Every structure is written in structure tokens, then in C-alpha cells.
């Protein structure tokens, strides 16, 4: 892995003059675009270095866009998803690294079938975390985002992503752990993505009806149990001006997203009016914080400088 100069721009730096750095740990290609992508675009514009660590290649993902659901595409899904990730990465302006684990799939049925041998969800957590420790120590993120203990939703790979993220944050700071993976690094703040909560859905549902539009949330809300996730929210990042970037990145994952489907059923202007933030739960902080907050880097001293180069992550 190395750092490569790209182009000139203003950047947000820490107290030592180093670029602020944000690491998103995601389970599959497309998760970086469906969770926190507008936040990402906002920080990229501020000159923050953003790295996406993608745990698996999404090898067992279904093709969810009916226009692309062909035998040829199903047979070529691995290469397609890598190409889609490349397009999304360019749209978001992020750096990206594959952790190299194999997709576990989403088991269905009663009883549930066993997970595939060797898949991500069956890996020893501490061993799997070692791969991420190396990334953390080499990239040096001030802030890391991941999923909550339920994975955001109970997909085996999302739950395992949570587990290895939290284990890696601890191990990366421990000089005795994984010494072959570089010098220890202390992540200063850790967040869970919490965007899919009932309060947001209810607000957007109401505004859609007030505008005489058919809401995509009514059926989902009726089936959703009492949701306490909103009570866990601590951090609200104003990023409505970047919702279009998020949507473009999501459309780049063409096999995974129906362009006429749920993700794009609410007009951008209604989204901006009804819920202009992406939301998080702060779960660890090594710096003083005052909640609620509106910045993932709140409490981490930073300022803007002009610089001659930004950096790309390579492996």
C-alpha cells in the first residue's frame, strides 16, 4: 500500500497540518453509496481524505435491476461489481481498498441453510480484524464508521463487519497486537451509520402525502416494529447539497439498484426539505464531545489550508 499525489485543492487538516482522514468500513460494494454517501461527498469537497474498506466482493449478491438480470450478467457478477465499485469510487472522490473476504450471502428459508464454507461471516473475528488493522495503521484515520451490533439489518456480513471493525479499532491501538502490521494507531472517534430509522421514514412519508405523491414508505412503516434506533442518534451531518452525488454513486451500482425503484422514489427537493441530514451514533470518542453534534470531526482540532497535492490510497 502507498500514497500517491493527485491534484491540488484546499484541504481540511488537523492540528499537526495533516489531512483529516475518514475510514468507512462496509460489507459489500454498494454499501458505501447507500449509507453515508452524501456525508462522504461533503467531506471530500472539504479536502478530507476518505477511504472505503470493502470487506467482500459481493459475489453472492442478487441482480436487483430487472433490466440487467440476464444469465450473462449473473455469470459475470464478480467483474461487474468491481467495475461498479470503480465508477462509484470516482463519483464520490474516495479511495478504496478490498479486504478480500468472500461474500456470505443472505440465507433464506426455514430452517435457514448453512453459510458457505470459508465465507466472511464464518471467519474468526480477531484473525479477520487483522486485515483491517493493517489498513487502519497505514491510513491513520481520525474517524471510523461502521454498522451497529445488528449490522444495520441482520445480514451476516454486516454483523461481521461490525465485529471486525470494533476489534480492529482496539487492536490497531495496541502495540502488542499485530506488530507486523505497522505502528499503533488510535482512532479518535467511531460512529455507527443510523440513517434507516423510523423517524426519518415517517417524516418523508408525511411530506410526500402533503404534496399529493405516493409514498414508498407506507408499506415499510406498517411492517416495521417499534424502532428505538432514533433514540440512539447523536450526530446529524448536514449534507442535502450532496444528495445528488449520493444518488449518482448509487446508480453506478447498476446491478444492485433499480433506477425506478425504492431508492429514488422520493424527489430530492422533498428529501432536502424533510430530512437534510445523514445520521449517526457516536459510540467511542477519545476527544471531548458535546451532543448532539453536526460534524464527525467535532472535537478534533482542524482548519483549512491550501495544499499542492492530495493523496490516493493504493495497494
**Grid cell locating 108:** 433464506
Residue 315 clears pLDDT 80, i.e. is over it: no
Q: What is the pLDDT of residues 205-218, one digit of tens each?
A: 999 999 999 999 98
Structural domain includes residue 202: no
**Grid cell locating 59:** 459475489
Structural domain includes residue 50: yes
Structural domain includes residue 225: no
Contact 125, 164 (CB under 8 A): yes
**Grid cell locating 50:** 476518505
pLDDT for res 222: 85
Closest CA to 145 of 12, 45, 51: 51
Q: How many CB atoms lie within 10 A of CB 311?
A: 17
Structural domain includes residue 220: no
Q: What is the pLDDT of residues 173-203, one digit of tens each?
A: 999 999 999 999 999 999 999 999 999 999 9
Average pLDDT value over all residues in the chain? 93
**If pLDDT is split at 50, 70 and 90, which confidence band does 1 have?**
very low
Contact 302, 10 (CB under 8 A): no
Structural domain includes residue 71: yes
**If pLDDT is split at 50, 70 and 90, which confidence band does 309 have?**
low
Structural domain includes residue 216: no
pTM: 0.93
Contact 110, 66 (CB under 8 A): no
3-state helix, strand, coil in the chain (%, to 5): 40, 20, 40
Structural domain includes residue 272: yes
Q: How far apart are the first and last CA of the chain?
A: 4
Element (H, E) at 49: strand 49-56
**Grid cell locating 200:** 426519518
Mean pLDDT of 85-106: 97
Closest CA to 234 of 287, 190, 203, 279: 279
Range of the domain at 55: 2-197+233-314
In whole angstroms, what is the distance from residue 20 CA to residue 206 CA? Answer: 38
Give the count of domains, the chain: 1
Structural domain includes residue 223: no
CA–chain centroid gap for 71, Å, is 30
Residue 147 clears pLDDT 80, i.e. is over it: yes
Q: What is the CATH number of the domain that holds 87?
A: 3.40.50.10320
pLDDT for res 2: 35
pLDDT for res 8: 43
Amino acid at each position: 500500500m502507498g500514497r500517491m499525489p493527485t491534484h491540488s485543492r484546499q484541504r481540511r487538516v488537523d492540528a499537526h497540518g495533516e489531512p483529516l482522514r475518514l475510514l468507512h468500513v462496509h460489507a459489500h460494494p454498494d454499501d458505501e453509496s447507500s449509507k453515508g454517501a452524501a456525508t462522504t461527498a461533503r467531506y471530500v469537497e472539504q479536502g478530507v481524505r476518505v477511504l472505503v474498506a470493502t470487506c467482500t466482493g459481493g459475489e453472492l449478491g442478487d441482480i436487483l435491476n430487472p433490466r440487467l438480470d440476464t444469465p450473462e450478467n449473473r455469470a459475470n457478477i464478480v467483474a461487474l461489481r468491481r467495475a461498479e465499485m470503480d465508477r462509484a469510487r470516482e463519483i464520490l472522490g474516495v479511495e478504496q481498498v478490498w479486504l478480500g473476504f468472500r461474500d456470505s450471502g443472505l440465507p433464506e428459508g426455514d430452517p435457514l441453510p448453512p453459510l458457505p464454507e470459508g465465507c466472511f461471516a464464518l471467519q474468526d473475528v480477531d484473525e479477520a480484524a487483522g486485515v483491517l488493522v493493517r489498513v487502519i495503521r497505514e491510513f491513520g484515520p481520525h474517524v471510523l464508521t461502521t454498522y451497529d451490533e445488528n449490522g444495520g439489518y441482520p445480514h451476516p456480513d454486516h454483523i461481521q463487519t461490525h465485529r471486525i471493525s470494533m476489534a480492529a479499532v482496539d487492536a490497531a491501538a495496541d502495540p502488542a497486537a499485530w506488530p507486523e502490521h505497522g505502528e499503533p494507531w488510535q482512532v479518535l472517534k467511531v460512529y455507527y451509520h443510523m440513517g434507516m430509522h423510523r423517524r426519518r421514514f415517517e417524516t418523508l412519508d408525511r411530506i410526500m402525502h402533503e404534496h399529493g405523491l405516493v409514498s414508498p414508505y407506507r408499506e415499510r412503516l406498517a411492517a416495521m416494529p417499534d424502532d428505538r434506533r432514533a433514540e440512539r442518534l447523536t450526530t446529524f451531518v448536514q449534507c442535502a447539497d450532496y444528495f445528488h452525488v449520493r444518488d449518482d454513486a448509487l446508480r453506478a451500482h447498476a446491478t444492485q439498484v433499480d433506477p425506478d425503484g425504492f431508492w429514488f422514489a422520493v424527489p430530492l427537493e422533498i428529501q432536502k426539505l424533510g430530512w437534510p441530514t445523514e445520521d449517526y451514533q457516536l459510540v467511542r470518542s477519545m476527544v471531548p464531545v458535546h451532543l448532539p453534534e453536526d460534524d464527525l470531526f467535532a472535537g478534533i482540532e482542524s482548519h483549512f489550508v491550501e495544499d499542492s497535492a492530495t493523496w490516493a490510497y493504493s495497494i
